[in-house]
Amino acid sequence: MLRVEGINQYYGGSHILRNVGFDAQLGEVTVILGRNGVGKTTLLKSLMGVVPVKTGSIRLGRADITRDTPYERVRKGVGYVPQGREIFGRLTVEENLRMGLAYLPGGTPIPAELFELFPVLKAMIHRRGGDLSGGQQQLAIARALAAGPKLLILDEPTEGIQPSIIKDIGRVIRMLADRRTMAIVLVEQYYDFAAELADQYLVMERGDIVQRGRGKDMQADGVRQRMSI
């Protein structure tokens, strides 16, 4: 579903991403691990088109999206959950979800499935997004899912939320992958959460992918130890 080849990215004179390449398959969770500052978020922003890549290519299915704008990528099936959620705090839950449908006809209903995945959103449909506390992450994911993406990109979904919600989010991610209707790319620093979900893992250091393999082999490959160094 996603093919990334030879991506290079610079901030000023700093070489942030170095010939990054990987595939993300339909029905799989590709987990990207690495310490702070190694380029994980920059990679996701490059996939989404928030920052343009200097060299390399990004393909979604058969379509080359390397030079597409973020809204063009959304129309082609990319859903993005940024680090820090970035929901609209003054808008209601319903209005936030409708933002995920913004490029579709005005009468498009909010998919009922979103409320099955995240029941708290139905109970608080008229509450402001900024009042949800830990439910903000669930709202951010639901908003990205509203238009039915083929690729779901999540940047550290466990950051700053309580263990019970982390468990719920993990359950939803696994359920979505198992349907084999989308590929999921997940950046994560919480090793246990990543290891539980990963079909494929990638480890980044200094803007490069230095280790990769199957999720079931993470313990044998010493990924936990590498992350703790």
Q: What is the CATH number of the domain that holds 213?
A: 3.40.50.300
190: containing domain: 2-228
What confidence category does residue 12 fall into, taking pLDDT thresholds of 50, 70 and 90? confident
Summarised one tens digit per residue, pLDDT across range 138-172 is 999 999 999 999 999 999 998 888 888 899 999 99
For the chain, how many structural domains are there in total?
A: 1
Q: Are 76 and 53 in contact (CB under 8 A)?
A: no
pLDDT tens, position by position, 58-91: 999 999 999 999 999 999 999 999 988 789 999 9
SS3 of 4, please?
strand
Q: Please provide the DSSP assignment of 2-18 as one string.
A: EEEEEEEEEETTEEEEE
pLDDT of residue 128: 94
Indicate the average pLDDT of the chain. 94
Residue 189 pLDDT > 90? no
Question: What percent of the chain is predicted at pLDDT more than 90?
Answer: 81
